[in-house]
Amino acid sequence: MESLGNARNTIEILQKYNFRLQKKFGQNFLIDNNILEKIIDAAQVTQEDCVLEIGPGIGTMTRCLAERAKKVVAVEIDKNLIPILQETLMDHPNVTVVHSDILKVDINHIVEEENGGRPIKVVANLPYYITTPIIMALFENHIAIQSITIMVQKEVADRMQAGPGSKDYGALSLAVQYYAKPEVITKVPASCFMPKPNVDSTVIRLTKYEKPPVEVKSEAYLFAVIRASFNQRRKTLVNGLVNADKLGVNKEKIIEILGQMGLPPAMRGEALTLAQFAELSNALCS
């Protein structure tokens, strides 16, 4: 079967099924074979791998994944795409299409059923309206994953990679860098999609660490500290933390700990490294 990664074949299949694009599902289909190949290469998929694809659309990337992987599980929310996928994936018996919202699927169950609990690879051209919840769900639910290779909005990729002092640095940067090593693969112009999105995109690979780079007493507490520190960006770190009721800390204690860490009381959250957040969180929760 011919590749779907071009405008002509994509339009043909959409017209055949009289498919109406749904903006609310972030449907921007990839119509560029070069980018498609770059994503698949970056994901380093082999015959040993079970791949989870989020949002297969009309199956453009799914077919390429199926040719390289042992097994592909593709989760698609839009019921109108299911008959299309049945046709486009007809020749690929190693693909299972699940009609569901990825945020409601028990991914641990999929990993158990399809890969005997061994780590899977996630590959996706993500729907941009829920990029962060999807990434956070994959990490926070401790799903057995080797890597996540995804197309995201350029600004989101910038945030994932940012370090202290950068305007892009925030809770997402720290969460991603706690769990994984981010690497930008390629930038992707809007012209590679149909319809064209209003933003540029980036393919980024997040390679999951076997063990996070810092040790914390409680991950939940670390992320509560991080969220509180960035909630009120213009405030000092101390004020952000005091205002977060569930942390249960007072001003004097925070200033004392910052002092022990060699940091001034007027410190701002955006200047702290992941290692410093871990140290602060460990001291505050003990």
Nearest to 242 by CA among 92, 231, 283, 100: 231
Q: Which of 35, 75, 123, 284 binds ligand SAM (CB under 6 A)?
A: 75
Query: Of 82 and 220, which CB lies nearer to ligand SAM in the complex structure?
Result: 82
Rounded distance between C-alpha atoms, residue 220 and residue 159, angstroms: 21
Q: Which of 35, 61, 110, 206 binds ligand SAM (CB under 6 A)?
A: 61
User: By CB under 6 A, which span of 100-108, 152-160, 173-181, 218-226 interacts with ligand SAM?
Assistant: 100-108
Closest approach of ligand SAM to the CB of residue 48, in Å: 23
H or E, element range at 241: helix 237-242
Please tell me whether residue 270 binds ligand SAM under the rule CB under 6 A: no
Burial class (CB in 10 A: 0-12, 13-18, 19+), 206: buried
Please tell me whether residue 182 binds ligand SAM under the rule CB under 6 A: no
Please tell me whether residue 114 binds ligand SAM under the rule CB under 6 A: no
Contacts (Cβ under 8 Å, ≥6 apart) of 181: 206, 207, 209
Query: Of 125 and 177, which CB lies nearer to ligand SAM in the complex structure?
Result: 125
Closest approach of ligand SAM to the CB of residue 240, in Å: 31
Please tell me whether residue 88 binds ligand SAM under the rule CB under 6 A: no
Q: How many other C-beta atoms lie within 10 A of the C-beta of residue 38?
A: 16
Contact 73, 52 (CB under 8 A): yes
Please tell me whether residue 77 binds ligand SAM under the rule CB under 6 A: yes
Side-chain-side CA neighbours of 116 within 13 Å: the count stands at 2
Task: Return the residue matching tokens 């018996």.
Answer: 93
Q: Which of 32, 45, 55, 159 binds ligand SAM (CB under 6 A)?
A: 55
Please tell me whether residue 127 binds ligand SAM under the rule CB under 6 A: yes
Please tell me whether residue 57 binds ligand SAM under the rule CB under 6 A: yes
